[in-house]
Amino acid sequence: MKEIILAKCGELVLKGLNRISFEKTLIKNIKLALSPLGEFKVSVVQSTIYIDKDGGIDDIEEAYERVKRVFGIAALSRAAVCEKDMDAIRETALAYAREKLESARSFKVMSKRSDKRFAYNSPQICSDIGAYLLKNISGLYVDVHNPDVVVTVEVRDFAAYIHCGSDSGAGGMPYGSSGKACLLLSGGIDSPVAGYMMAKRGLKLSAVHFLSPPYTGELAKQKVLSLAEKLSDYCPGMELYLVHFTKIQEQIKNNCREELFTVIMRRFMIRLADIAADLSGAGALVTGESLGQVASQTLGALSITDELSRHIVLRPLIGMDKEEIISISRKIDTFETSVLPYEDCCTVFTPRHPKTRPVLSEIINEENKLDIDTLVKNASDMITVIKI
């Protein structure tokens, strides 16, 4: 029995004239996600995506899991394919649904007939296939309101499809359909979630990470690499820019007032993230900041870092509680890695009493004690890129 994957386009169906270009991006992304399993045929007809492979999909479970992670898909199901002929549909429905029906008590058949030339209409298909399944599997009854199993028969242009239930897709917009942004990726819980959320809205991501050897070690770097790798399940082809931050942090510590250290450091991060964004062709920055979470995420501190950036700074977690963020990080499987206990460059020089209401003029006074341009230039000259 031939089995394929059927999926439903998500929000992009609301697009007008440029829907075709969103669909093209989605098709490309599905093919890319499936590329380790071979070359797939993917097409979209009236918001339904057909995912098939010459000779059949041999590893359909793995293929299905991969398609589940592709943004732009509202729902998906595995489906058996057969000829548009009632005998073939009966036999295929019985063979395909048998295992599920044998362990169920109730069921119903649903039908969609987009090929209006097919001789049976939807109610006729439902009652015919329902009766056939009842006759061939004992102990079953029909429950149209609350069935254990729903068998769906779809009669479409080129074939009939039978499936037994669907799963939610990843939702959102096709990855890369909304432009590109550079994610400030730390080793913490928040920033991978922030990246996931913006990728879900169609932004292609690059990432920048600041490290401070020897204060931060090899394990901290490996942790960020594995977070980037986990994110790349959703964000294929991500580049990670590594910035050595030690010199800058030492200079701030040695020259500036301790309670302003964090805000000044974050302003350097923004200057360098702007450069990483330029290098990767990104038009925005993304951070994992959430209002009030720590001293550097008060409204005052955020405005002072914001005013410096040459790019718009997107903060998808700004209104979220930690618990909400953690539940997404578990869902995307970054949580366990994020909580590994390695030092981040931010925690190396944390002031004892960071100022929660910094004043811009005060910050600028302190920064003027440093040779900002040279520090930024030296750090940016040493940026290294890793293709994830």
- 172, 188, 195, 358: which one contacts Mg ion (CB under 5 A)? 188
Report the amino acid identity of residue 27: I
169 forms part of the interface with Mg ion (CB under 5 A): no
147 forms part of the interface with Mg ion (CB under 5 A): no
Which range touches ligand ATP (CB under 6 A), out of 4-12, 145-153, 162-170, 179-187?
179-187
CB of 92 to Mg ion, least distance (A): 53
CB of 49 to ligand ATP, least distance (A): 33
Residue 304, burial from CB neighbour count under 10 angstroms (0-12, 13-18, 19+): buried
Binding mask 139-178 for ligand ATP (x = CB under 6 A): ----------------------------------------
CA atoms of 328 and 238, how far apart (whole Å): 20
**Which helix H or strand E contains 207, and what residues bound it?**
strand 204-211
Three-class DSSP category at 131: helix
Which range touches ligand ATP (CB under 6 A), out of 72-80, 89-97, 146-154, 181-189?
181-189
Residue 178 or 186: the one with the smaller Cβ distance to Mg ion is 186
Which residues between 325 and 344 bind Mg ion (CB under 5 A)? Answer: 344
297 forms part of the interface with Mg ion (CB under 5 A): no
186 forms part of the interface with Mg ion (CB under 5 A): yes
Q: β-strand 167-171 against 160-163: which pairing, if any? A: unpaired
Which residues between 205 and 234 bind ligand ATP (CB under 6 A)? Answer: 208-210
Residue 190 or 274: the one with the smaller Cβ distance to ligand ATP is 190
Question: Which residue's CB atom is positioned nearest to ligand ATP?
Answer: 188
195 forms part of the interface with Mg ion (CB under 5 A): no
Count of residues engaged in binding ligand ATP, rule: CB under 6 A: 19
Asked whether 200 and 178 are in contact (CB, 8 A), the reply is no
CA atoms of 123 and 119, how far apart (whole Å): 12
CA atoms of 264 and 201, how far apart (whole Å): 31
CA dist list (Å): 297 to 196, 256, 301: 20, 20, 6
For residue 35, the tally of other CB atoms under 10 A from its CB is 12
CB of 122 to ligand ATP, least distance (A): 50
Which range touches Mg ion (CB under 5 A), out of 71-79, 163-171, 188-196, 323-331?
188-196
- 23, 128, 190, 239: which one contacts ligand ATP (CB under 6 A)? 190
CB of 346 to Mg ion, least distance (A): 5
- 185, 203, 256, 263: which one contacts ligand ATP (CB under 6 A)? 185
Helices 322-331/190-200 angle, 10° precision = 70
Full DSSP string of 292-311: TSSGGGSHHHHHHHHTT-SS
CA atoms of 5 and 321, how far apart (whole Å): 36
CA atoms of 383 and 379, how far apart (whole Å): 7
CA atoms of 22 and 4, how far apart (whole Å): 22
Q: Which residues bind ligand ATP (CB under 6 A)?
A: 184-186, 188-191, 208-210, 287-289, 293-294, 296, 344-346
